Structure 1
């Protein structure tokens, strides 16, 4: 009788299908991001429009999401070594020397990078006229339109770990100007009275950004790209952005060509 029960148990196990858990979508999160891009608490993202976009991508695909919060300078190496599969909020000009096989999504959002100053220094600025100025920047961030000025030491980077820290140092008077995207500046201004709010004094660059996916047989690359396309075409991406307040129109004019090195 015991042998019969054992045989029945084995047959039951063999006949029942076994389902392996679907592998998660593994995203990189730069630790220098701040709201409204992402809220990082205890080394985990909890909110922000980038987090919402990533979560929605996983939901549409029916796959779990996994987030790796990394120093900005480690993000690309994590992608190259297969520790993460998707890097969102990226532009090809930021990573011109990528090694490996990757596929870019369509542009999802447009980022406006501004030269920002305090309320008592709101005069529009011609970047070419600034000399020997310390500029607040985020550690590890690439600013292609300013690189020639940094290389010539006409402008000097003063790095902080996050965008929020860059703006805090600007308010504290550590330097007269900083670089910030308009979303971050507008979010930062929410906690300041109108007469203390930061001002954009020059439009540095408008940059289309999207996601880059590691082209690996174990990664559902085409499904990811098609899902992001549907999210963009349906207006879902814009709806997510609007939950965090659409950036105000830039009225300081278009960026002027920067000098050649």
Structure 2
């Protein structure tokens, strides 16, 4: 009788084990979707270097990877034409776009706290008189980038603001170095990076700071990442010094 009870008991246990083995695979957690970061496909270093449909290096990639890690996700960086950035973010083709400000990108996006510093500079060749201020540029050609707005300069000079457009920020500095213009508007990040890698060696007057910029990240309405979580990740980057270390790579 005892041996029969033992056989029955083991049979019940075996049946329960088999049942558990059947049930357990059905409750596996689904993998977390990667964080999709949009990057302007015409971006240049130090912002980004793009090969085909891949972002291979640069500040945007470093920043995206750091944020994704803090959000517990992998990063996928996706190049998109500048004119399609707002549409792509609105349609959920990406989760976020960084190094922008809310007045630069129309759309129903949630915006992170400002955290990414840069300066808009007026740089002048040392062979030209150093401008005392923006008013000194009235009627003179100033190197600019096609498609970009310079509100402080436009407000100061109005009709006397003579733009000399280049296709991108590096070409703008090259025109200055070749002597085609005496003054140019640029970002400090771009200027310092081009000087560091030895591609811009022109002697300059001390740059005139036109404006201070604290850029943000725009979050798609359909992103699974919440704004509070994104801001917490940004706060971590800032407070533990990781953001400063990322920026220092390109100075």
Q: In 2 relative to 1, CA 50–122 (structure 1 residues): closer, same or farther, beyond 3 Å?
A: farther
Q: How does 1:13-28 map to 2 (within 5 A)?
A: 15-17=24-26, 18-28=28-38
1:132 equivalenced with 2:142 (yes/no): no
> Which residue of 1 is the match for residue 102 of structure 2?
92
Aligned match for 2:118, one of 87, 95, 111: 111
SS at match of 1:153: helix
Query: Unmatched 5+ residue regions in structure 2?
Result: 1-19
Q: Distance in 1 between matches of 2:51 and 2:132?
A: 36
CA distance in 2, matches of 1:36, 1:199: 23
Which residue of 219, 233, 246 maps to 2:225? 219
Distance 1:133 1:64, change over 3 A: same
The 1:233/1:156 distance shift into structure 2, 3 A limit, reads same
Q: How far 1:41 moved relative to its partner?
A: 3.0
Question: Which whole-Å CA distance do the structure 2 matches of 1:24 and 1:16 have between them?
Answer: 23
Cα pair distance change 1:169/1:136, threshold 3 Å:
same
Could you list the runs of 5+ residues in structure 1 that have no partner in the other structure?
1-10, 246-261
Task: Name the CA shift for 1:30/1:136 in 2 (closer, same or farther; >3 Å).
Answer: farther
Aligned to 1:204: 210
Matched residues in 2 for 1:215 and 1:198: separation?
A: 44
Q: 1:54 corresponds to which residue?
A: 64
Residues 135 and 157, structure 1, Cα contact 8 Å, conserved in 2: yes
Paired with 2:205 and 2:36, the residues of 1 have a C-alpha distance of 36
Aligned 8 A contact 1:214 1:221 in 2: no
Q: Is the 8 A contact 2:39 2:60 kept in 1?
A: no
Single out whichever of 111-120 and 157-166 deviates more from structure 2. 157-166
Residue 46 (structure 2) aligns with: 36
Measured after TM superposition, the shift of residue 229 of structure 1 is 1.5
RMSD, matched Cα: 2.8
CA shift for structure 1 position 12: 6.9
Tell me the TM-score normalized by structure 1.
Answer: 0.76
Q: Which has a greater percent of helix?
A: 2
Confirm or deny that 1:234 pairs with 2:251.
no
Counterpart Cα distance in 2 of 1:175 and 1:13: 75
Moved more, 200-209 or 40-49: 40-49
Q: Which of these two proteins has the greater Rg computed from alpha carbons?
A: 2
Aligned counterparts of 1:44 and 1:59: Cα–Cα separation in 2: 19
Count of aligned pairs: 232
Q: Which of 134, 153, 156 is residue 159 of structure 2 equivalent to? A: 153
CA contact (8 A) 2:142 2:183 kept: yes
The alpha carbon displacement at 1:180 in A equals: 0.8
Write out per-residue CA displacement over residues 72-131 of structure 1, whole angstroms, 9 at most, x where no aligned residue: 232222222322221100123434xx232x222222122111012234236134211322
The DSSP-based 3-state class of the residue aligned with 1:16 is helix
